[in-house]
Amino acid sequence: MSDEIRDPQDFIRQMVATDRATGKHDGHIVTRFPPEPNGYLHIGHAKSICLNFGIAHENAGVCHLRLDDTNPSKEDLEYVEAIQQDIHWLGFDWDLLRHASDYFEVFYRGAEKLIRTGNAYVCDLDADSVRDYRGTLTEAGKNSPYRDRNIEDNLDLFRRMRAGEFAEGAKTLRAKIDMASGNINLRDPAIYRIRKVLHQNTGDAWCIYPMYDYAHCVSDALEGITHSLCTLEFEDHRPLYDWFLQQLDLPGDPSLTEPLHEKGQWLPPSTPRQIEFARLNIDYTILSKRKLMALVRDNLVTGWDDPRMPTLCGMRRRGFTPAALRDLIRRIGVTKQNSVIEFGLLESCVRDDLDTHAPRRLAVLNPLKLVLSNWPDQAVEIIQLPNHPKDASCGVRQLAVAQELWIEQEDFSENPPKGFRRLVPGGEVRLRGIGIVRCNALIRDSSGWVTELDCTLDPDTRPGLPGANRKVKGTIHWVSVRHAIEVEIRLYDRLFDIANPDQVDEGKSYRDYLNPDSLQILKAWAEPSLAAAEAEQHYQFERLGYFVADRYEHSAKTPVFNRTLSLRDSWSRRQQG
Ligand code: ATP
Ligand code: MG
């Protein structure tokens, strides 16, 4: 498929095209990706990243990275760095990097303006009472007894909130909209709350912090955002988004944005448009930062970058490629219908990419010794194998062949089931790149277990000879016992063994459905060239699957390879029994 076919004009891209064509925002397109730095990015975020950066790029526009740090917290530098690294890894770069906390002074001025225009008031109700007064979906709310405070009192109280005179929870600043609105978001939502917590960027400068709905739309306008893309659950918040911007009129009121001049952060404010799209959901996984954090905290995985995690750094370490993730996002498209993507679709994107790019290598995971009795004792022969069967430009590599080889235990059967196409007593099989061997005798240990196969190589079937094309049922892989290096192999599988770990029976939690076999560690034998693998180099181990040299723990001395995927989708077959 060409990129053009895979880049359908989804409804958002159509809106953007129309806005450009009609000269809205002078034809400029500015988007943003606004993560809260309270965790690592996951595959769901990849959808938002591809969409925001993609649309900007396709329209000669720009995309900002905005760290939405309006919630004060302490340890987020780790997250801030990881977020940037993950976006770069996915193949995107931002125009401006901003923090929502850059705008705290503007948010504050805006709030005073809302008070002065009679659109906000300081409310003394506690959280429970606010909830009681709010009403329900079927029942109108009641006005707060503090709703009709006069403007002077409100300004005074709000300034004293800022000065730290009141305890947390004692007061909030609320928008004065409509307690009877059918849209609960418009029933006098909070704009500011008191939180006496140090902020990672602003320290103790503030003890009042703006709420998301207020801070988000103002941040968008301050950055000149033209299209503010968010997930569907914000659809009902859009009237509030528009209300705040209309009341504040940032483009028409320079006094509000004055503080940004000093910081060199002033841009002409815009009137952005919020557009909602369906979140990405994927089966056999969870995408809530809170739950992912719990897995890390409780050591149910080795970290945010555990190769079983749906985080971008976890997928990276697993060997999933940025091109494959972008391909997945292209394939699923952008709609307003919530749906759940099959994990298998992601895997097939990864296979497609790795099949094209991953060099082939030989490795044996469960070794059984095969001895070529007609091979001269100490002789070593160097053969060549192509690095890629479909791409000659990938070149060839050399492998040593000697008398003793390792093959997979599964490639030999004493009592073969019907249709077994590998090696059996008295039978023949082709050893990849060597020729056809016949199994003449079995050597057993004292318990009767087969420890060695005594074989002969048919010399007429060596590559390049006329007999090389002689037909046998199977071709198997091998490594030379003398030359192979020992490697650690980590076989990963899905973290959960049910399709929807987010929806489980009462009394159960997603933790009850962790797949006990999601990680298996083996010692294996691999062809020597793999010692030179760079961390994060992808390979196909022939007949076994795609593997990647571990990003952190692989070295020439202690090679470690993670299995990214098997060659075929064995999971869906297992599910069908
Ligand atoms: P969580 O609920 O797990 O904390 P979040 O949505 O709060 O996730 P943010 O850091 O606020 O995470 O998200 C940054 C951006 O990524 C937002 O614009 C959000 O809409 C988008 N996003 C998050 N999860 C998904 C998803 N599953 N699919 C598409 N976009 C997503
Ligand atoms: Mg959020």
Per-residue pLDDT tens digits for 253-303: 999 999 999 999 999 999 999 999 999 999 999 999 999 999 999 999 999
Domain 367-482 superfamily per CATH? Ribosomal Protein L25; Chain P (2.40.240.10)
Ligand 1 atom 27, closest CA = 44
The confidence score (pLDDT) of residue 74 equals 64
80 lines ligand 1 (CB under 6 A): no
Residue 382, token pair as written in the block: 């160097």
Spatial contact of 361 and 524, defined as CB atoms under 8 Å apart: no
The confidence score (pLDDT) of residue 455 equals 98
Residue 488 Cα to ligand 1 midpoint, Å, equals: 36
Q: Which ligand is nearest to the CA of 67?
A: 1
Distance CA 530, CA 488 (A): 12
Spatial contact of 93 and 194, defined as CB atoms under 8 Å apart: no
The C-alpha R_g of the chain, in whole angstroms, comes to: 31
Q: How far is CA 2 from CA 8, 326, 332, in A?
A: 11, 14, 15
35 lines ligand 1 (CB under 6 A): yes
404 lines ligand 1 (CB under 6 A): no
Parts of the chain belonging to CATH 3.40.50.620: 2-277
The confidence score (pLDDT) of residue 511 equals 92
47 lines ligand 1 (CB under 6 A): yes
342 lines ligand 1 (CB under 6 A): no
Return the exposure string of 201-217: e unless at least 16 CB atoms fall within 10 Å of the residue's CB, then b.
ebeeebbbbbbbbbbbb
Annotation says 36 is catalytic: yes
Residue 502 Cα to ligand 1 midpoint, Å, equals: 16
Distance CA 318, CA 518 (A): 12
Among 48, 325, 329, name the best residue to mutate to test ligand 1's pocket (greatest count of ligand atoms within 8 A of Cβ).
48
Ligand 1 atom 10, closest CA = 35
Per-residue pLDDT tens for 529-576? 999 999 999 999 999 999 999 999 999 999 999 999 999 876 665 555
37 lines ligand 1 (CB under 6 A): no
Annotation says 342 is catalytic: no
Q: Which of 399, 402, 400 is nearest to 370 (CA)?
A: 402
The confidence score (pLDDT) of residue 3 equals 42
The confidence score (pLDDT) of residue 5 equals 41
245 lines ligand 1 (CB under 6 A): no
Residue 483 Cα to ligand 2 midpoint, Å, equals: 53
Residue 306 Cα to ligand 1 midpoint, Å, equals: 20
The angle subtended at Cα 90 by Cα 556 and Cα 290, nearest 5°, is: 95
Among 12, 231, 329, name the best residue to mutate to test ligand 1's pocket (greatest count of ligand atoms within 8 A of Cβ).
231
Query: Which one of the listed residues 24, 36, 291, 551 is annotated catalytic?
Result: 36
Residue 210 Cα to ligand 2 midpoint, Å, equals: 14
Residue 449, token pair as written in the block: 């277990």
Distance CA 88, CA 65 (A): 11
Nearest ligand 1 atom, CA 287: 3
280 lines ligand 1 (CB under 6 A): yes
Pick the CATH number of 289-357+488-576 from 3.40.50.1100, 2.40.240.10, 3.40.50.10260, 3.20.20.70: 2.40.240.10
Spatial contact of 558 and 537, defined as CB atoms under 8 Å apart: no
Ligand 1 atom 25, closest CA = 44
Annotation says 273 is catalytic: no
Q: How far is CA 342 from CA 161, 281, 358, in A?
A: 49, 9, 24
Q: Which of 268, 228, 273 is nearest to 246 (CA)?
A: 273
231 lines ligand 1 (CB under 6 A): yes
Residue 34 Cα to ligand 1 midpoint, Å, equals: 9
The confidence score (pLDDT) of residue 6 equals 42
371 lines ligand 1 (CB under 6 A): no
288 lines ligand 1 (CB under 6 A): yes
Q: 2-277 adopts what CATH topology?
A: Rossmann fold (3.40.50)
Q: How far is CA 456 from CA 286, 328, 420, 542, in A?
A: 53, 48, 20, 23
Query: Which one of the listed residues 109, 149, 171, 289 is annotated catalytic?
Result: 289
The confidence score (pLDDT) of residue 569 equals 78
Parts of the chain belonging to CATH 2.40.240.10: 289-357+488-576, 367-482
Among 33, 38, 43, 45, name the best residue to mutate to test ligand 1's pocket (greatest count of ligand atoms within 8 A of Cβ).
45
Residue 289 Cα to ligand 2 midpoint, Å, equals: 9
Residue 70 Cα to ligand 2 midpoint, Å, equals: 11
529 lines ligand 1 (CB under 6 A): no
The confidence score (pLDDT) of residue 435 equals 98
Nearest ligand 1 atom, CA 280: 28
Residue 110 Cα to ligand 1 midpoint, Å, equals: 26
Q: Which ligand is nearest to the CA of 80?
A: 1
Paired residues of 488 in beta bridges: 523, 560
566 lines ligand 1 (CB under 6 A): no
Instruction: List the pLDDT tens digit at each of the 577 positions of the chain.
Output: 334 444 558 999 999 999 999 999 999 999 999 999 999 999 999 999 999 999 999 999 999 999 999 998 766 889 999 999 999 999 999 999 999 999 999 999 999 999 999 999 999 999 999 999 999 999 999 999 999 999 999 999 999 999 999 999 999 999 999 999 999 999 999 999 999 999 999 999 999 999 999 999 999 999 999 999 999 999 999 999 999 999 999 999 999 999 999 999 999 999 999 999 999 999 999 999 999 999 999 999 999 999 999 999 999 999 999 999 999 999 999 999 999 999 999 999 999 999 999 999 999 999 999 999 999 999 999 999 999 999 999 999 999 999 999 999 999 999 999 999 999 999 999 999 999 999 999 999 999 999 999 999 999 999 999 999 999 999 999 999 999 999 999 999 999 999 999 988 889 999 999 999 999 999 999 999 999 999 999 999 999 999 999 999 999 999 999 999 999 876 665 555 4
Ligand 1 atom 7, closest CA = 36
Ligand 1 atom 2, closest CA = 288
Per-residue pLDDT tens for 203-243? 999 999 999 999 999 999 999 999 999 999 999 999 999 99
